[in-house]
């Protein structure tokens, strides 16, 4: 059985618009808070952590709610539609806010709206994809998300968002919201969630995918609870997710400030290169994973991310700009290597009826990490120095390598791919 690439790409438009929003949020909100409202790095870091505070509670909640939702449009689609519309309206409105209190209220509305549909949107891919093909599907979903991020980064260059002291981002935010609405329109016009989920169930029965996809890893006991050894692996996977997100998100949320004020270079170029490198990496990552397995592939990605952030620690304002670009390219490849394989390792421990809940667990781990890291990295940058950013990130990435060594489940080995396109499949 082969993955339906057309369906997966169309489902991926939900993740496309999510990634477009977060790429814009992570790069311009810190600039608005510091340049327009004169907040400290620590204060800005606290505000940047609010989305993750909401997410810790809301992502599992709405993931589980969508598991139980039944409408003619499916379980996930209603959340995607209403959440996107609400987020776009609030995001556009905040770009006109000149009062800090009003700005924060509108920012909170944007974040709450995004939190209502993130888990349902990500859970949709497993809903319509049989287990042996979910890693392959996840690679394509990540490609779609990367495409959204690249478009938004290109807009950042067009709208000159990295100008020193810039405070007006209204045109840029309007363009980003336009991209989100286009992605939503394509999704609504093409995705048939109910029928596609029914097709997946029929295909799963044909190939007996539920037990075969992850072997003993899908075993449950005591009314659906994971066996002890599987639960231990789940905990270590989620700990690893949290640790590498602590390192990675510190860079993503603070790099626009770091590049502008410390290195005196454009942040958008480096981030765009990282996104482009991730796109190029997906197929090679699939080839490597098919040979050595998910766990080893993730460990290689974590090691590369450590080298990228460790190397960036030595870049100064006098260094050639291409050095930072090269390191961000390595970071993009590393991040693609990690993400293609980590989410399927979590979600394939789920039973058929609680994919949304396990999707929520995955995002709870990543979001909980991101509650801490903008604040902690901001405090270090304020009181120790801006140059603590990359060493801080490198340390937590190294810790993720250690915890990942203890993962024992979720690492199956598939049959050899029949075509180059099937090298997207990382189900080892």
Least confident of 72-76, 154-158, 306-310: 154-158
Q: How confident is the model at residue 209 (pLDDT cuts 50, 70, 90)?
A: very low
pLDDT for the residue numbered 344? 80
Percent of the chain at pLDDT exceeding 90: 36
Q: Which pair of structure tokens corresponds to residue 275?
A: 């996104």
Cα–Cα distance for residue pair 47/50, rounded to 1 Å? 5
How many of the other CB atoms lie within 10 Å of CB of 58?
Answer: 24
Per DSSP (E only), the strands in 334-423 are: none
Q: Which pair of structure tokens corresponds to residue 128?
A: 């319509």
| Model confidence at 210: pLDDT above 90 | no
Q: Which pair of structure tokens corresponds to residue 13?
A: 């438009």
Query: Average pLDDT in the 245-270 region?
Result: 85
Least confident of 21-35, 186-200, 327-341, 348-362: 348-362
Domains of the chain and CATH, by start:
5-424 (1.20.1250.20)
pLDDT for the residue numbered 50? 79
Q: How confident is the model at residue 425 (pLDDT cuts 50, 70, 90)?
A: very low
Q: Which pair of structure tokens corresponds to residue 372?
A: 């801490």
pLDDT for the residue numbered 143? 86
pLDDT by residue (tens digit) across 95-154?
999 899 999 999 999 999 999 998 899 889 888 988 777 777 888 888 898 889 889 988
Which residue matches tokens 């969630």?
A: 193
For the stretch 268-273, contacts whose Cβ atoms lie closer than 8 Å and that sit 24 or more positions apart, written own/partner, are 268/27, 268/153, 268/156, 268/157, 268/161, 268/162, 269/157, 269/321, 269/325, 270/324, 270/325, 270/328, 271/23, 271/27, 271/153, 271/328, 272/150, 272/153, 272/154, 272/157, 273/325, 273/328, 273/329, 273/332
**CB-hemisphere CA count at 13 Å for 8?**
21
DSSP result, 277-299? HHHHHHHHHHHHHHHH-HHHHHH
| Model confidence at 23: pLDDT above 70 | yes
Q: State in Å, rounded, how far the first CA of the chain is from the last one.
A: 16
- Are 357 and 350 a contacting pair, CB within 8 Å? yes
Phi–psi pair at 220, nearest 5 degrees: -135, 160
Beta bridge partners of 226: 220
Q: How confident is the model at residue 217 (pLDDT cuts 50, 70, 90)?
A: very low
Phi–psi pair at 166, nearest 5 degrees: -65, 135
pLDDT for the residue numbered 416? 44
Q: How confident is the model at residue 421 (pLDDT cuts 50, 70, 90)?
A: very low
Q: Which of 34, 59, 60, 61 lies closest to 47, judged by CA?
A: 34
Q: How confident is the model at residue 373 (pLDDT cuts 50, 70, 90)?
A: confident
Angle (nearest 5°) at CA 139 between 133 and 145: 135
| Model confidence at 22: pLDDT above 80 | yes
Give the list of residues 6+ apart from residue 126 with CB closer than 8 angstroms, or none.
134, 137, 347, 350, 355, 359
Rounded to the nearest 10 degrees, how much is the dihedral formed by the CA atoms of 375, 277, 337, 75?
80
| Model confidence at 213: pLDDT above 50 | no
| Model confidence at 222: pLDDT above 60 | no
DSSP 3-state of 409: coil
Query: Average pLDDT in the 305-318 region?
Result: 92
Query: Average pLDDT in the 349-364 region?
Result: 77
């Amino acid at each position: 059985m082969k993955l339906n690439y057309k369906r997966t790409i169309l489902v991926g438009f939900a993740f496309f618009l999510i990634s477009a929003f977060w790429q814009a949020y992570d790069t311009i909100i810190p600039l608005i808070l510091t340049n327009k409202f004169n907040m400290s790095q620590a204060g800005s870091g606290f505000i940047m952590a609010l989305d993750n505070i909401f997410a810790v509670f809301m992502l599992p909640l709405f993931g589980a709610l969508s598991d139980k939702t039944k409408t003619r449009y499916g379980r996930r689609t209603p959340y995607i539609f209403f959440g996107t519309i609400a987020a776009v309206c609030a995001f556009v409105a905040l770009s006109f806010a000149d009062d800090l209190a009003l700005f924060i209220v509108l920012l909170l509305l944007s974040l709450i709206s995004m939190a209502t549909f993130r888990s349902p949107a990500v859970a949709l891919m497993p809903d319509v994809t049989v287990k042996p093909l979910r890693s392959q599907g996840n690679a394509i979903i990540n490609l779609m998300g990367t495409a959204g991020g690249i478009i938004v980064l290109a807009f950042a260059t067009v709208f000159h968002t990295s100008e020193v002291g810039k405070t007006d981002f209204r045109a840029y935010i309007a363009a980003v919201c336009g991209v989100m609405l286009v992605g939503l329109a394509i999704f609504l016009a093409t995705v048939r969630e109910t029928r596609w989920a029914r097709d997946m169930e029929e295909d799963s029965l044909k190939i007996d995918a539920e037990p075969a996809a992850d072997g003993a890893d899908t075993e449950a006991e005591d009314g659906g609870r994971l066996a002890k050894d599987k639960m231990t692996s789940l905990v270590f996977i989620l700990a690893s997710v949290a640790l590498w997100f602590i390192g990675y998100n510190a860079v993503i949320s603070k790099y626009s400030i770091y590049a502008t004020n410390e290195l005196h270079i454009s942040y958008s170029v480096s981030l765009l290169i990282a996104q482009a490198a991730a796109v190029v990496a997906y197929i090679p990552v699939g080839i490597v994973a098919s040979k050595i397995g998910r766990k080893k592939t993730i460990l290689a990605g974590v090691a590369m991310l450590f080298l990228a952030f460790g190397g960036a620690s030595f870049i100064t304002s006098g260094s050639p700009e291409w050095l930072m670009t090269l390191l961000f390219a390595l970071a993009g490849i590393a991040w693609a290597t990690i993400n293609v394989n980590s989410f399927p390792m979590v979600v394939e421990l789920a039973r058929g009826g609680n994919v949304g809940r396990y999707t929520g667990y995955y995002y709870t781990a990543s979001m909980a990490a991101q509650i801490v890291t903008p604040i902690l990295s901001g405090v270090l940058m304020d009181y120790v120095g801006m140059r603590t950013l990359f060493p801080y990130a490198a340390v937590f990435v190294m810790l993720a390598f250690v915890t990942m060594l203890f993962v024992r489940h979720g690492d199956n080995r598939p049959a050899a791919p029949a075509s180059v396109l099937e090298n997207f499949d990382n189900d080892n």
